[in-house]
Amino acid sequence: MLKINNLHAAVDGKAILMGLNLEVGSGEVHAIMGPNGSGKSTLAQVLAGRDSFTVTDGSVDWDGTDLLALPAEERARAGLFLAFQYPVEIPGVSNAYFLKAAVNAVRRHRGLPEYDAMDFLARVKAEMKAVGMKEEFLYRSVNEGFSGGEKKRNEVLQMALLEPRLAVLDETDSGLDIDALKIVAEGVNRLRSPERSMIVITHYQRLLDYIVPDKVHVLSQGRIVRSGGRELALELEAHGYGWIDADGKAAAAASGARS
Amino acid sequence: MSTIDAWVAHQRERACQLPGAALPWLARRRADAIARFADLGWPTSRLEGWRHTSLAFLDQQALAAPAFAPHPAFALATLRAAFDEGDHWLVFVDGRFAPVLSVTGMLPAGVKAGALSEALNSAPDAVEAAFGSADDSASPYALNLALCSDGAFVHLARGTALEQPLHLVFIGATGAADTHLRNLIVADANSEATVVEHHVGGGATLGTVVTRVQAAQDARITHVKLQQQDAQAIHLAQIEAEQARGAYFASHSLSFGARLARNDIRTRFAGEGCETLFNGLYHVDGRRHVDHHTLIEHARPLGTSREYYRGLVDGNARGVFAGRIIVAQDAQRTDAIQRCDNLLLSRLAEADARPELEIYADDVKCAHGATVGQIDEDALFYLRARGIDTDHARQLLTYAFAAEVIERIAHAAVRKRGRGLLLSSLPGGARMEALQ
Amino acid sequence: MNAPTRNEALGAFLEQDYVAGFETRLETDTVPKGLSEDVIRTISARKGEPEWLLDWRLEAYRHWLTMTPPLWAAVQFPPVDFQDIVYYSAPKSKTDGPKSLDEVDPELLRTFEKLGVPLHERARLAGVAVDAVFDSVSVATTFKKELGEHGIVFCSFSEAVKEHPALVRQYLGTVVPPGDNFYAALNSAVFSDGSFVFIPKGVKCPMELSTYFRINARDTGQFERTLIIAEEGASVSYLEGCTAPMRDENQLHAAVVELIALDDAKIKYSTVQNWYPGDKDGKGGIYNFVTKRGDCRGARSHISWTQVETGSAITWKYPSVILRGDDSVGDFHSVALTNNLQQADTGTKMIHMGRNTRSTILSKGISAGRGSNTFRGLVRVTPKAEGARNYTQCDSLLIGDRCAAHTFPTIEVRHPTAHVEHEATTSRIGEDQLFYAMQRGISAEDAVSMIVNGFCREVFKELPMEFAVEAQKLLGVSLEGSVG
């Protein structure tokens, strides 16, 4: 369903993604691992449509649609969800208002009736219960003063409400202790379904103990340098990223020679 | 004849009809005030405090009464809708107390709230003590003293507390080219109240308002000013407080209107351990001009002040903020923070900020900051990544930026009214009604 | 506690002496006190100036007569009697001016050596070319030949008027017009000497250029004029140092500095100002009323001001940058210290006119004794300055409870894509900071200088090495032994 072909992207003139290829089928969960600075978060931001990244080459096909041609909000409405590594605080806007505005924007787009206040409240409370969030978080400003775990739970809550076809989880485990991590992972697992694909971006393998991926890819120097099954993640844990870096450089050098 | 001479003549003519005309002290102060006004003339941009807001144009302009204004009863009804039945209301129309529209029956014992014109008859000594003089006033406020026709006189006896806010409503109807109001709030020790000043409707072409607050030891006074007038009005206002030991004074100023609005807000810590909050928001568009000049004078030790101003400047409008904090040599262990942040929403708008610290004591913690910028790109992307369209996301973030100011108002119903005012003044506000 | 208390430590820190306060005895050629058209004609004649420059001076003088001294600054001083000042004083010499260092009065050379500014080229000050100005005239410029090989002109202003009249005429007064302000007009009328720098297209100046200003003669005002032009792609780093003898009378210093940077040019201008500040009771000292302005005339040009202001009884200066060219950059880094009865009202203006122009303001004010220190700034974004950015950080440190620190920034923004940010803090050296350092075995006075230097570090690192060292010294790094 998602086909990334030779993707190149840059920020402030600095190339970060340098020929990334990836295919994700319906219902599949792919993990993307890699050292800091390898381009993991850039990939997430580019897929979600962040303007500050410039796609310099390549394409992303999503069920026959040119994903890169859509503005961020249309990608979201079409069912692409990015769980942010650093969810943004928006003081002055209540979580309830924000969630309702987002859900109704997506429902409108899908030809579904918009929720009224009552229906929305019923729905959101049920979902909050499922991710273990207290109701008071509805009336607080979006992410403002939330702990790391609360912010990530709020992301999972939004994912549940927006029912995406493709969810990109950007280092959802960062800054979480093991208990918070389990709760968030449970929330994600609950949302796994044959119609929903996921890209799980992480630096550490431990998240993959809880969200078990179908495939694991290693990103280095802006491209995928290894792909494999679950066991690749364990190998990375055992040996660290050192060998990958060397590999990545070798690959980059080789490609430099080719072009 | 220059318009300054015309004002002087006008004052001489009106003086005998003004309230308290028979009181010698008042006559003297009015005479001094008009003399000061005549001497100074309208402030021009050559004066440091008026660099960004010149009133020189008033010198060439004859004032005419506005053509249309909503009926006072209608304006009042809309206003009251948001509040509890238990609130207290003093209503003034065209600069005169309107007893029929006012509700003060439920004031607790020890609290007096009524018209200044009445208090000048019933308690002239108390008024004299609180009235102030024009000795150091900027010229518009000297003119105010010379010509003030009415206003509220509020007295809170020791230990009394008003649980519901006292609303002072100033409605411009037809028939007045200029109005001059003076409000006096005298809070004895340990008393507490929230006073809300609403300026609504088609105000007079030129309106001056001076509100004076005396907060005795440990008194807690919150003043909220909601200013929403039509696009012809010129609104010149001063709020001045003096705080005795341990007193708390909060000033919230929400400015949404008038062709030109100038607010001079100041407080002085005359005793140790005072605390103040200056909180303000302005949203201007069209060719409007709004200017807040604030002064917090830490004259005594252990004072705490917090000042937060935010501005939204759109269209061809200009938003000005100048805040000064003075920490006197004696005011050790002062803790002061001052911030002013502006969003510029159009190509032709202008925002000016002058946050000033003037410090003569060394054991202090003082910081100030000012920004002029745009909506945060990260937040905008976050909203768009959740499917919210760019326009709505911008409106929402603009609202959120401004609403932070309103959230500092402690009283829920007043806060709600503040949000409502903000939403009604913002593009796309109707769509965000649920935020109220 | 046997260790010195906070107050003692501060006291020791504050009681450092002015080391540049000696006087040099020389025969001088001095124009009598007072100001008139005749005096200006005399100055111009002594310097053998062309007619157009005399006219320019006279026009400035006539304009000055219509002006009044500015009163808005937060400084207080009795009115200056402009008729009680000597407007021209030069060390006597046999010829028009020294042709080489050998012709310079050895007493003068010793003066500069004593100040740590050796003029003999063999003394090579880490490759710094020096122009030394003594009272009203330039006495020597070093390294001229090497610089000449690069097409660089570095000479006294008087010499530039003679040797490069077209350049002077083209640029003089184009950044600071003669009628700009009261003191700039006065300077334009009576300026005596100063430095002239011209870096031609594409040339990176191979060494630091430096001018050393020294006021020596009694009752003399110093009115130097500096003009620096960097053509397309050129770059230069220029340093300026100043001292004066200790005298009971106040002396006036009203300089004008103009910088012009064309496309892709870079000018870095550093000042260590240590004019005599007056004594502990505020007697004597220099009135330092200076107009400094840079014009980023070209695209991508960059002008950077760094100043360490420790001297003068009163400092009144606002080194500014007009960001005219697209993508041009302006910086202002400042340390200003006022002690005893010193007063400083200083800051900068950043006028954003071009697109994507950027400016940074970093100001560190230290007030001690009964000193008063004011930061006054203006950041203006004009309606055409799309994408302009400014960041201002302005910190004040108070030492003692009788000093004052003020921060008066003004922000005026007329473009919606601009980002302007101002932050300011005021704090003092805390008892706990001092105690912490002392508990680790550091003497109280060292602890104070350590904290003060730490406070100024971000500015010092903008200075060329030799100056950074001098600046640290001035702030009293080496206070060993002054606390018992």
Inspect the interface and report whether the beta carbons of B407 and A73 lie closer than 8 Å: no
- Token readout for B89 is 């209301």
Inspect the interface and report whether the beta carbons of A52 and B388 lie closer than 8 Å: no
Alpha helix segments (H runs only) across B103-162: 116-122, 124-131, 139-147
What's the pLDDT score for residue C124?
44
Cβ-Cβ contacts under 8 Å between B and C: the total is: 111
CA neighbor of C153 nearest in space, from C266, C230, C39 = C230
pLDDT confidence of B164, banded at 50, 70, 90?
A: very high
| C interface test, pick of B362, B363, B371, B374 with most C CB neighbours within 10 Å | B362
Inspect the interface and report whether the beta carbons of A100 and B390 lie closer than 8 Å: no
Cβ contacts of B378 on chain A, cutoff 8 Å: 88
Rounded Cα distance, C366 and C377, in Å: 17
Residues 407-436 of B with CB under 8 A from A: 407, 432, 434-435
CA neighbor of B279 nearest in space, from B339, B319, B335, B229 = B339
Other residues' Cβ atoms within 10 Å of the Cβ of residue C54: 17
Residues 58-77 of B with CB under 8 A from C: none
Higher pLDDT, C117 or B307: B307
- Token readout for B297 is 């004078």
Inspect the interface and report whether the beta carbons of B396 and A93 lie closer than 8 Å: yes
Q: What is chain C's alpha carbon radius of gyration, rounded to the nearest angstrom?
A: 22
pLDDT confidence of B431, banded at 50, 70, 90?
A: confident
Of B342, B356, B374, the CB nearest to C408: B356
Alpha helix segments (H runs only) across B132-186: 139-147
- Give the mean model confidence (pLDDT) for residues B131-144: 95
Rounded Cα distance, C130 and C153, in Å: 13
Rounded Cα distance, B201 and B229, in Å: 5
Contact at 8 Å (CB) between C187 and C157? Answer: no
- Token readout for B181 is 């109001």
Range with lowest mean pLDDT among B363-372, C43-52, C453-462: C453-462
Q: Is B370 on the interface with C (CB under 8 A)?
A: yes
**pLDDT tens per residue across span C143-154:** 777 888 999 999
Q: Is B375 on the interface with A (CB under 8 A)?
A: no
Q: Is B23 on the interface with C (CB under 8 A)?
A: no
Nearest CA in chain C to B346: C416
- Give the mean model confidence (pLDDT) for residues A151-171: 94
Percent of residues in chain B assigned helix, strand, coil, to nearest 5:
25, 40, 35
Q: With 90 as the cut, is the pLDDT of residue A194 above it?
A: yes
Reduce the DSSP state of residue C458 to 3 states and report it: helix
Higher pLDDT, A255 or A206: A206
- Distances in Å between the Cα of C208 and the Cα atoms of A125, C197, C230 are 69, 12, 14
Rounded Cα distance, A42 and A46, in Å: 6
Any idea which residue has 């030809």 for tokens? A111
> How far is the alpha carbon of B217 from chain C, nearest alpha carbon, in Å?
27
What's the pLDDT score for residue C480?
29
* Phi, psi torsion values for C210, nearest 5 degrees: -140, 140
- Token readout for C100 is 């080489």
**pLDDT tens per residue across span C124-169:** 444 566 677 666 566 566 677 788 899 999 988 988 999 999 999 9
**pLDDT tens per residue across span B39-89:** 999 999 989 899 999 999 888 777 766 666 667 777 788 788 878 777 899
DSSP string for A48-99: HT-TTEEEEEEEEEETTEEGGGS-HHHHHHTTEEEE-SSPPPEEEEEHHHHH
What's the pLDDT score for residue C245?
64
Q: With 80 as the cut, is the pLDDT of residue C435 above it?
A: no
Of A82, A92, A105, the CB nearest to B407: A92
Inspect the interface and report whether the beta carbons of C415 and B357 lie closer than 8 Å: no
Range with lowest mean pLDDT among A186-200, B133-147, C286-300, C428-442: C428-442
* Phi, psi torsion values for C117, nearest 5 degrees: -125, 75
Mean pLDDT of chain C: 83
Distance from CA of residue C422 to its chain's centroid? 24
Inspect the interface and report whether the beta carbons of C411 and B353 lie closer than 8 Å: yes
Inspect the interface and report whether the beta carbons of A84 and B385 lie closer than 8 Å: yes
Nearest CA in chain B to A99: B386
- Token readout for B307 is 């000042």
CA neighbor of C212 nearest in space, from C312, C91, C131 = C131
Q: Are strands A166-170 and A80-83 parallel, antiparallel or unpaired?
A: parallel
- Give the mean model confidence (pLDDT) for residues A145-156: 92
Inspect the interface and report whether the beta carbons of B384 and A52 lie closer than 8 Å: no
Q: With 60 as the cut, is the pLDDT of residue B208 above it?
A: yes
> Which residues of A fall below an 8 Å CB-CB distance to B?
48-52, 71-73, 75-77, 81-82, 84, 87-94, 97-98, 100-102, 105-106, 109, 117, 141, 158, 162
Range with lowest mean pLDDT among B104-108, B401-405, C112-116, C167-171: C112-116
What's the pLDDT score for residue B24?
95
What percentage of chain C has pLDDT greater than the value 70? Answer: 79
> How many helices and strands in chain C, by DSSP H and E?
11, 23
pLDDT confidence of B362, banded at 50, 70, 90?
A: confident
What's the pLDDT score for residue C249?
74
CA neighbor of C374 nearest in space, from C430, C304, C315 = C315
**pLDDT tens per residue across span B323-338:** 999 999 999 999 999 9
Cβ contacts of A77 on chain B, cutoff 8 Å: 387
Inspect the interface and report whether the beta carbons of C422 and B362 lie closer than 8 Å: no
What's the pLDDT score for residue C364?
94
Distance from CA of residue C439 to its chain's centroid? 39
What does the DSSP 8-state code read for residue A229? Answer: S
**pLDDT tens per residue across span A13-27:** 899 999 999 999 999
Nearest CA in chain B to C386: B347
Range with lowest mean pLDDT among A53-67, B48-62, C194-208: B48-62
Higher pLDDT, C483 or C215: C215
Reduce the DSSP state of residue C323 to 3 states and report it: strand
Q: Which domains does chain A have, with CATH numbers?
A: 2-258 (3.40.50.300)
First to last CA, chain B: 51
Of A48, A73, A94, the CB nearest to B388: A73
Q: With 90 as the cut, is the pLDDT of residue B223 above it?
A: yes
Rounded Cα distance, C131 and A25, in Å: 75
Range with lowest mean pLDDT among B19-23, B259-263, C192-196, C242-246: C242-246
Cβ contacts of B48 on chain C, cutoff 8 Å: 72
What's the pLDDT score for residue C478?
28
- Distances in Å between the Cα of B232 and the Cα atoms of A193, B200, B259, C21 are 62, 13, 5, 64
**pLDDT tens per residue across span B414-426:** 999 999 999 998 9
What's the pLDDT score for residue C484?
23
What's the pLDDT score for residue C125?
45
pTM: 0.86
**pLDDT tens per residue across span C342-392:** 898 999 999 999 999 999 999 999 988 888 999 999 999 999 999 999 999
What letters, b where the CB count within 10 A reaches 16 and e where it falls short, cover B333-343? Answer: ebbbbbbbbbb
- Give the mean model confidence (pLDDT) for residues A72-94: 90
Inspect the interface and report whether the beta carbons of B385 and A73 lie closer than 8 Å: yes
Rounded Cα distance, C88 and C73, in Å: 28
- Distances in Å between the Cα of C10 and the Cα atoms of B294, B365, C15 are 35, 19, 9
Q: With 60 as the cut, is the pLDDT of residue C99 above it?
A: no
> How far is the alpha carbon of B224 from chain A, nearest alpha carbon, in Å?
19
Q: With 80 as the cut, is the pLDDT of residue B173 above it?
A: no
Rounded Cα distance, A202 and A36, in Å: 10
**pLDDT tens per residue across span C387-434:** 999 999 999 998 878 889 999 999 999 999 999 999 999 988 777 777
What's the pLDDT score for residue B149?
94
Contact at 8 Å (CB) between C420 and B373? Answer: yes
Q: Is B377 on the interface with C (CB under 8 A)?
A: no
What's the pLDDT score for residue B68?
60
Rounded Cα distance, B419 and B425, in Å: 10
CA neighbor of A209 nearest in space, from A183, A188, A230, A223 = A230
- Sequence spans of domains, chain B: 3-271, 376-436
What's the pLDDT score for residue A235?
85
Higher pLDDT, C208 or A164: A164
Given a contact as 3+ CB pairs under 8 Å, which chains touch C?
B
Mean pLDDT of chain B: 92
Distance from CA of residue B229 to its chain's centroid? 13
Q: With 70 as the cut, is the pLDDT of residue B373 above it?
A: yes
